[in-house]
């Protein structure tokens, strides 16, 4: 299989970049790195995400092969989300970007205060 080309506007690589560049997807990967979580646990860990948006994110991530959804036959039904091997492969790059963001957040915020970002 041929590798993608992110600079080709017709390449599906851009769809992948959209998925892994989405803040909610990033936070789901970080939340699931230590094991399966229920929907409410994810929502509470992530904070600030609406149930609708979290549901859409989890469905999209499942469609992309990044998470699995397991339903347990219990009353009430219990559902858990887990990273797939493909989802686990995102942990290192996402952690690196998160570390960078946490290290440089003050610099970025200071730059925003200085100007509106015009170059």
Residue 1 in this model has a pLDDT that exceeds 60: no
Q: In the CATH scheme, what architecture does the domain 13-114 have?
A: Orthogonal Bundle (1.10)
- What's residue 4's pLDDT? 87
What tens digit of pLDDT does each residue of 39-88 get?
A: 999 999 999 999 999 999 999 999 999 999 999 988 888 999 999 999 99
Question: Using 50, 70 and 90 to split pLDDT, how confident is the model at 7?
Answer: very high
CB contact at 8 A, 36 and 70: yes
- What's residue 65's pLDDT? 96
Which sequence spans correspond to the domains of the chain?
A: 13-114
Alpha carbon 33 to chain centroid distance?
11
pLDDT, mean of residues 4-27: 91
What tens digit of pLDDT does each residue of 96-107 get?
A: 999 999 999 999
Question: Using 50, 70 and 90 to split pLDDT, how confident is the model at 116?
Answer: low
């Amino acid at each position: 299989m041929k590798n993608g080309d992110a600079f080709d506007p017709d390449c599906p690589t851009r769809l992948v970049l959209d998925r892994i560049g989405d803040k909610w997807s990033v936070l789901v990967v970080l939340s699931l790195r230590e094991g399966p979580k229920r929907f409410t646990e994810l929502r509470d860990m992530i904070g600030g995400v609406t149930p609708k948006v979290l549901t859409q994110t989890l469905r999209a991530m499942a469609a992309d092969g990044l998470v699995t959804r397991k339903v347990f036959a219990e009353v009430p039904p219990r559902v858990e989300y887990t990273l797939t091997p493909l989802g686990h492969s995102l942990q290192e790059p996402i952690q690196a970007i998160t570390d960078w963001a946490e290290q440089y957040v003050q610099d970025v915020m200071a730059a925003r205060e200085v100007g509106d970002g015009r170059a």
